[in-house]
Amino acid sequence: MKIFQKIKKNYSKFERRDFLFAYLLILFPVAQFLVFWVFVNASSIALAFQDDFGKFTWNNFEAVKNAFVDQDLFGINLKDSLVRSWILWLVGEVICFPISLITTYVLTRKIVGHYVFRICYIIPSLMGAIIWTLLIKEMVRGEGPITLLVKNFGLDPYSNAATEGLLWDDATAFFTIVSVRAVMGLVGNNAVLTGAYTRVPNELFESAELDGAGFFTEMFKIAIPCIWPTICTLLTFALCSIFTCDYNVYLFTNGQGNFETSTIGFQLFNLTYQLREGNGSYGYPAALGVTLTVITLPVVLVGKAVLERMSENVEV
């Protein structure tokens, strides 16, 4: 009651009307957030400390520890999965992101054929992960065009990779997924980066040209510094997936096989799917999630702070 009295005393009738309107607008999204984010995450933490009968236990965390040291109930070693997640993340964010920054810039500067190129680059995203992945999967089968191409580069013709396909051989399966990730990552974030580049005022380029600035000076000293806040936002989002990066491994391997391509992201999705199938318990995936969140949180916070610091120091 005191809060209402304070609001009545400190704010005019019009301001109070605005409050009411604003609260009405946020009511549903906030309620949804409280139920499907706050409550879900709180119960996820609670599940991590419960057995199947709801009693307190550390066993789920023991199972996570065992999965990192040895293997989990499904035969997956999480340490290997984590390394694979990192490799996919590094390829996508550390190698491909800078390249996509440059390629998007050149496309935004309307290089000949830019409209057609842009449509071609977005086609895999439009076709969707499932169709694209399943097409690639068919293309890397034994008689598929990619496998035939790789055979010309010296792939052992009697290996599983050559006869069954690149994804059906432990030696080549993960490398195949990494390669697809690399090719796809080259034009990643195209939409958001293009949106940012198109907002850079033309006057900046015109005055730079008058001062004799060339192509690279314009790109590295004007365009990229101008869109630095956008780059920071994208990199912060990218940091969030540092431990869970999963490039459609579930679709590539169908969640079967000997898990030589397993990643943490795959494992988390697979555990949820197994629950739907009536297999496994809620506690183990919840404990795995809590463990990874605790590890990821400081990484993201430090990374975000560093990016913000860099953003302050960037001058246009």
Q: Could you say which residues in the range 276-295 bind other proteins, by CB under 8 A?
A: 276, 282, 285-286, 288-290, 292-293
| Smallest separation (angstroms) from other proteins to the CB of 115 | 8
**Other beta carbons within 10 Å of 188:** 23
Residue 33 or 58 having the CB closest to other proteins: 33
Report, in Å, the least distance between residue 158 CB and other proteins: 20
Residue nearer to other proteins on the CB measure, 94 or 301: 301
Restricted to residues 200-259, the positions that interact with other proteins (CB under 8 A) are 200, 202, 204-206, 214-215, 223, 225-234, 236-237, 240-241, 243-244, 251
Applying CB under 8 A, does 310 fall inside the site for other proteins?
Answer: no
Number of residues binding to other proteins, judged by CB under 8 A: 119
Helical spans, DSSP H, in the chain: 2-10, 13-33, 40-48, 59-69, 78-89, 97-108, 114-139, 145-152, 160-163, 170-185, 190-198, 202-210, 215-217, 224-226, 228-240, 249-253, 264-276, 283-313
231-251 CB burial, b ≥16 within 10 A, e <16: bbebbeebbebbbbbbbbbbb
Distances, alpha carbon 199 to alpha carbons 2, 22, 192, 226, in Å = 48, 30, 11, 9
Q: How far apart are CA 128 and CA 62, in angstroms?
A: 38
* Residue 138: other Cβ atoms inside 10 A: 13
Residue 156 CB, nearest distance to other proteins (Å)? 21
The residue written with tokens 């096989």 in the block is 257
Letter for the amino acid at 133? Answer: T
Task: Enumerate the β-bridge partners of residue 50.
Answer: 56
Q: For the chain, how many residues are written?
A: 316
* CB-nearer residue toward other proteins: 1 or 126: 126
| Smallest distance, other proteins to C-beta of residue 172, A | 19
Sole binder of other proteins in the list 8, 19, 62, 305 (CB under 8 A) = 19
Q: How far is the CB of 88 from other proteins (least distance, A)?
A: 16
Instruction: Select the span of 31-39, 82-90, 150-158, 168-176 touching other proteins (CB under 8 A).
Output: 31-39
Q: Which is nearer to other proteins, 87 or 213 (CB)?
A: 213
Select from 32-40, 54-62, 89-97, 160-168 the region that touches other proteins (CB under 8 A): 32-40
Of residues 94-133, those binding other proteins (CB under 8 A): 103, 106-113, 115-132
- The first and second tokens of residue 295, run together, are 């590890």
Minimum gap (Å) between residue 51 Cβ and other proteins: 14
Tell which one of 83, 207, 273, 302 touches other proteins (CB under 8 A).
Answer: 273
To the nearest whole angstrom, how small is the minimum distance from the Cβ of residue 87 to other proteins?
Answer: 18
